[in-house]
Amino acid sequence: MKAKSKKVVIFGVLDTAELAHYYLTHDSECEVVAFTVNEQYIKEPFFKGLPVIPFEMVETMYNPDDYYFFAPMTGRRMNKNREEIYNQAKQKGYRFVSYISSRVSRFDNEIGDNCFILEDNTIQPFTSIGNNVVMWSGNHIGHHGAIKDHVFFTSHVVLSGHCLVESYCFFGVNSTIRDFTTLGEGTLVAMGSNITRNTEPWGVYVGNPALKKENIKSIDAY
């Protein structure tokens, strides 16, 4: 069997980390060697048979010159949790891997680091994807667009052609975005909503056509 070329430490010990371990092990050139979380969250010394290391000292055990980092976390706090860990690992000197499923349809798109792009995403030509972007399964990402950093696509989102997605946006399941639309920074598109106009930064948009909605209590959960 061909030796795996990159040794990787994954941040997390919950579902997303378990999925990342599965996908990297079965569908990448990466070998997962350890998990890491902040010390206060360590309950067991091992996960998936691998050591769980306090994040505060991970660089002393897994030298950033020799090991890569992967933090494919959820969209909580509008992707800010994932951004914080991404920045902290970068400060420790780590380089990141991106996981791009072998079952993605894509072309020569520019794709940044620490991205987690699962099966059945279609990414059309001339659309770029920034750093720390998650695309769960089955999204359509149209042509001639740009997706900035720390964005989260859940599943079966249709992003039409020529769209600009600013950083921190979150797209709920089955949402649809009209072509030539700009999504302002931190836009939350509710599940099943149809965006027909440009959105304002940090707005929550709900319905068909989607309208900006105030006082959504659970926004912090995303």
Q: Footprint of ligand COA on this chain (CB under 6 A)?
A: 154, 172-173, 190-193, 204, 206-207, 216-218, 222
- Considering the complex, what minimum distance in angstroms separates the CB of residue 210 from ligand COA? 9
Residues ≥6 apart with Cβ < 8 Å to 134: 72, 75, 82, 115, 116, 117, 151, 152, 153
Minimum Å gap between C-beta 44 and ligand COA is: 26
Least distance in angstroms from the C-beta of 55 to ligand COA: 24
| CB closer to ligand COA, 125 vs 207 | 207
Query: 2 Cβ partners below 8 Å, 6+ apart?
Result: none
Q: Which is nearer to ligand COA, 158 or 191 (CB)?
A: 191
Task: Show contacts of 57-63: CB within 8 Å, 24+ apart.
Answer: 58/9, 58/34, 58/92, 59/92, 59/93, 59/94, 61/34, 62/9, 62/33, 62/34
Q: Tell me, what amino acid is at 31?
A: E
CB of 147: closest distance to ligand COA in angstroms? 17
Which single residue brings its beta carbon nearest to ligand COA?
172
CA-CA distance, 99 to 69, in Å (whole number)? 11
Nearer to ligand COA, 28 or 193 (CB): 193
Instruction: Select 67 or 222, whichever has its Cβ closest to ligand COA.
Output: 222
